[in-house]
Structure 1
Amino acid sequence: MELKRVVVTGLGALTPIGNTKDEYWEGLISGKSGAAPITYYDTEKFKTKFACEVKNFNATDFIDRREARRMDKFAQYAMVASDEAIADANLNIDSLNKLRVGVIWGAGIGGLETFQQEVLNFAEGDGSPRFNPFFIPKMIADIAPANISIKHGFMGPNYTTVSACASSANAIFDALNSIRLGHCDVVVTGGSEAAVTIAGMGGFNAMHALSTRNESPETASRPFDATRDGFVLGEGAGALVLEEYEHAKARGAKIYAEIAGGGLSSDAYHMTAPHPDGIGVIAVMKNCLENAGLNPEDVDHINTHGTSTPLGDVAELKAISSVFGDHAKNININSTKSMTGHLLGAAGAIEAIASILAIEHGIVPPTINHSTVDEQIDPELNLTLNEAQKRDVRVAMSNTFGFGGHNACVVFKKID
């Protein structure tokens, strides 16, 4: 069968460096860091005392107070970002065939704060099982797309992909396939996460995964730098409206870019560490290019997973050199996690948005906080260090990898 073309017609973002799509983009190109001391709880006894929190967010500015109380923050973030994307797409919801509109969302963890609070309440009580009746529906990862579909009446495919930090890129690829196989006309997709909690920070600290640069939080996320010491936890949401090309054209929609394809793979190696030779990462990028019908030399820009971990950054860049060969030095490579921190299951969504906006504006956001060369990294690679670079970006790839060896990759191109 002939696959349908799929385009991006709406974007929404709620991030540590901007609470809308436009604020997020301004934060990216200006090299803004979202890292700061944690405000949500007392960090005195924690090894890491900072994170990339969403700032100046009040759920009841967007959601009815009663409804907001029934949602974990990760679901609140999903509602806000998806509403922005739907408005940005200028969708006339009443004119849509809602049976052909889906919501496919990514979340690596789901309602962690809700789970944490209910367990703490129980532990501090008299042993009686007094739990909030909304405990389970607030916690489960699939409640975010459920809430989006309930609000708008979207009756197409509705589910959450859970593949750790690859979750929302996984969701975007699933959304692409739902449309190009003819199952949907429109899919709202993306991801959200809200893991800056006692349990989230404590758990990642126990793994020695987080930076402990407490004296300088804003410089702690430093992908590709020789002094990197772990990732910085972030939170927020990103949403995209994907639409069948002819459907979008018929209603005169603004088209940001075409989503050309995607790929998935597994490292099949280790619970948390990347394969040192990047075998799974090589496979996912090759799968993505083949799925999109693109050649390596077509790619102008790669938004890497680039978490600022000692092992992961090197493995990914070696994989890029393996896949792209001599062309790798012609690609603008960056890591926007240097600014946003690592949004876990939402990372793929906000990084896909950054890739799309790089195509639209002809600017590649920087990898900030780089000061010390890592001799394990090929010096000929253009890592877009410290300052944004202007470039005609026709094809942009976004990589995301998750604990368990989950790899997902999506690629966008300028619309012809």
Structure 2
Amino acid sequence: MAPGRRTRFDVAVTGLGLVTPAGTGVEKNVKRVWAGESAAARTDELSGTAVDFSCRVEDVDPAAALGRRAALRMDRVSALGVIAARQAVADAGLDSTEWDGARVGVVIGTSFGGSATFEREHRTCLDEGPALVSPTLMVMAPVNMTAGYIAMDCRALGPNQVVSTACASGTTAVGFGRQLLESGMCDVVLAGGSEAALTRTGMASLHKMGALSRRGDDPARASRPFDLHRDGFVAGEGAGVLVLERMADAAARGARVRARVSGFGASADGHHPSAPDPAGGGAERAVRAALADALTTPGDIGHINAHGTSTPLGDIAEARMIRRVYGAHPAVTSTKGAIGHLIGAAGAVEAAYTVLAVERGEIPPTANLTRQDPDIEADIVTAAPRRAPLRAAASHSFGFGGQNAVIVVTAA
């Protein structure tokens, strides 16, 4: 919260772009996620590995969407991010050929960047020699390139930033985007996250550390947040971008405001490289900071889009923190049951889902939750969407390294 703040600083969410395992575009995501339909399936690229399933984006061809030459210069993580950004700008009713690009910022969260390109070129270097390594490696693999390509494609010439706070990256990006607007540095910010790290090496490491579900006999039911029989997350890929504007600017141009981002909080556990603080102290600090920033109380929050990864330790720690901070009343869901864990993009996509829940007055269910863990005392939405007028909702994101980020979304 800004020191001495007496009034809340709301930013308008005027556009959404979604490229996820549930589909490309808002309508496809609402149709599948709100139906609790799982996108997990066997993945050809992972064939023969210990965990050969994931949640992939299946309905996007970067070459068709961006042009073959442009797509060849981008790792998949950047291509998905650019496609989501284009959608978000169009959804906001903006035209990037007409705006003052110097007043448009970009903040993108990612954890791995162009890891698929790096793995490919590393293999080339080992197998065929360094002379055959592509010079494009250095404009495809670095984590900053997704934001850079979005700037080039959308003529967004203001501050251009990447944040990397592991699985909290997308939420952190939305929070920092709001701060750019409050500072006056930008009039429009494209904020979100992108990830495309379903590589054999990365997945092998996640498997060896025990993070992934091993339910390979039934991939569609493997991601089951808050369920008694959860055994790990299902890795996914995708991108989500939100167009953020000051409320006065959105009103001046007659824009549709889907919802508002009214608060942001962040913290560190300082506990363990991969395990959550079992007491949930860091997560609680982020939640309370976001609520204070939004000048909102726990009792005002009607819905929580939980981090809810489907891991035994993570879900119980978050659920206990929710009970302690919010009490029993908020309707909780984890959309990772439907689309898996999108790592650095997760928070951005879930922020978009929280915006949609507030806008629609309808909370999506937690897919695959058939028997709630009796140690989880929370009102988890299951089986079907729940109608509920929402004044305020929260979206939680917690990452490896103990990095936490939370936003508060309020009704327009």
Give your verdict on TM over 0.5: yes
The equivalent residue for 2:355 is 356
Residue 21 of structure 1 corresponds to which residue in structure 2?
26
SS in 1 for 2:265: strand
Cα distance in structure 2, aligned partners of 1:347 and 1:338: 12
The partner residue of 2:254 within 252, 255, 271 is 252
Residue 8 of structure 1 aligns to a residue whose secondary structure is: strand
1:336 to 1:3, Cα distance in 2 relative to 1, 3 A:
closer
- CA drift at 1:79: 0.6
1:281-334: per-residue Cα shift (whole Å, max 9, x none)?
A: 11110010001110111100000000000000000011111111xxx3221100
The one of 85, 103, 125 equivalent to 1:82 is 85
Instruction: Return 5+ residue gaps in structure 2 as ranges.
Output: none
Q: CA separation in 2, counterparts of 1:193 and 1:166?
A: 12
Offset of 1:171 from its aligned partner? 0.5
1:174 & 1:57 partners in 2: Cα distance?
A: 28
The aligned counterpart of 1:304 is: 306
Determine the structure 2 residue equivalent to 1:100: 103
1:110 aligns with 2:107: no
- In the TM superposition, residue 223 of structure 1 has moved relative to its aligned partner by 0.6
- Quick check: 113-122 or 89-98, which moved more? 89-98
Contact 2:9 2:262 in 1 (8 A): no
Answering whether residue 366 of structure 2 is matched by residue 383 of structure 1, we say: no
Comparing 219-228 with 199-208, greater Cα deviation is found at 199-208
Partners of 2:83 and 2:124 in 1: CA distance = 28
| Aligned residues of 1:4 and 1:182 also touching (Cα < 8 A) | no
Which 4+ residue blocks in structure 1 deviate beyond 3 angstroms? 1-5
* Contact 1:122/1:131, CA 8 A, preserved across alignment: yes
* Residue type of the alignment partner of 1:249: A
Residue number in structure 1 paired with 2:216 = 214
SS in 2 for 1:75: helix
Task: Letter of the 1:386 partner, please give it.
Answer: A
User: Would you say 1:365 and 2:331 are equivalent positions?
Assistant: no
**Residue among 190, 213, 217 paired with 1:188:** 190
Q: CA deviation at 1:21?
A: 1.4
Mapped contact 2:8–2:294 kept (Cα < 8 A):
no
SS at match of 1:166: helix
In structure 2, distance between residues paired with 1:138 and 1:179: 29
8 Å Cα contact 1:3/1:181 also seen in 2: no
Q: Deviations over 1:125-172 (max 9, x none)?
A: 1x3443111101100111111111112222111010000000010000
AA partner of residue 220 (structure 1): A
Q: Cα gap change, 1:4/1:297 in structure 2, threshold over 3 Å: closer, same or farther?
A: closer
Residue 315 of structure 1 corresponds to 317
**Structure 2: distance between partners of 1:286 and 1:19:** 34
| Separation in structure 1 between the aligned mates of residue 373 and residue 89 of structure 2, nearest angstrom | 42
Residues 258 and 56 from structure 1, CA distance in 2 versus in 1: closer, same or farther, beyond 3 angstroms?
A: closer
Correspondence for 2:199: 197
Question: How far 1:237 sits from its partner (Å)?
Answer: 0.4
DSSP 3-state at the match of 2:214: coil
**Alpha-carbon distance in 1 for matches of 2:358, 2:8:** 23
Q: Which residue of 2 aligns with 1:72?
A: 75
Rounded to whole Å, the distance in 1 between the matches of 2:162 and 2:8 is: 24
Q: Is the 8 A contact 2:124 2:130 kept in 1?
A: no
Structure 1 residue runs of 5 or longer lacking an equivalent are: none
Q: Find the counterpart in structure 2 of residue 30 from structure 1.
A: 35
Where does 1:205-284 land on structure 2 (aligned, <5 Å)? 205-284=207-286
Residue 329 of structure 1 corresponds to: 328
Take 2:291 and 2:101, find their aligned partners in 1: how far apart are those partners?
Answer: 32
Cα shift readout 1:308-362 (whole Å, capped 9, x = no counterpart): 00000000011111111xxx32211000000000000000011001100001111
1:55 aligns to what? 58
Residue 10 of structure 2: aligned partner: 5
Q: Indicate the residue corresponding to 1:153 in structure 2.
A: 155
Change (3 A) 1:128 1:354: closer
Partner of 1:144 in structure 2?
A: 146
- Structure 2 contact 52–216 (Cα < 8 Å) conserved: yes
Supply the distance in 2 between the matched residues of 1:141 and 1:128 (Cα, whole angstroms). Answer: 22
Match of 1:400 in 2: 397
> Which letter maps to 2:140?
K
| One-letter amino acid of the structure 2 residue matched with residue 241 of structure 1 | V
More off after superposition, 51-60 vs 165-174:
51-60
What is the distance in 2 between the residues matched to 1:128 and 1:104?
Answer: 34
Measured after TM superposition, the shift of residue 375 of structure 1 is 2.6
Q: In structure 1, give the amino acid aligned to 2:24.
A: N
Amino acid in structure 1 at the alignment position of 2:36 = G
Pairwise CA distance, 1:4: 5.1
CA RMSD of aligned residues (A): 1.2
Q: Report the CA distance between 1:3 and its aligned residue.
A: 7.0
- Kindly indicate whether residue 337 of structure 2 is the aligned counterpart of residue 338 of structure 1: yes
Q: How much does 1:401 deviate?
A: 0.5
Structure 2 counterpart of 1:93, one-letter code: S
* Stretch of structure 1 that moved more, 329-338 or 56-65: 56-65
SS of 1:71's equivalent? coil
**CA 1:138–1:315 in structure 2 vs 1: closer, same or farther (change >3 Å)?**
same
Q: Which amino acid aligns with 1:372?
A: R
Deviates more, 1:283-292 or 1:200-209: 200-209
Between the aligned partners of 1:233 and 1:65, the Cα distance in structure 2 is: 27
Pair 373,151 (structure 1): closer, same or farther in 2 beyond 3 Å? closer
- Amino acid of the residue matched to residue 19 of structure 1? T
1:405, 1:251 → 2: CA distance? Answer: 41
Q: What is the SS of the residue equivalent to 1:223?
A: coil
Answer whether contact 2:236 2:341 (CA < 8 A) is retained. yes
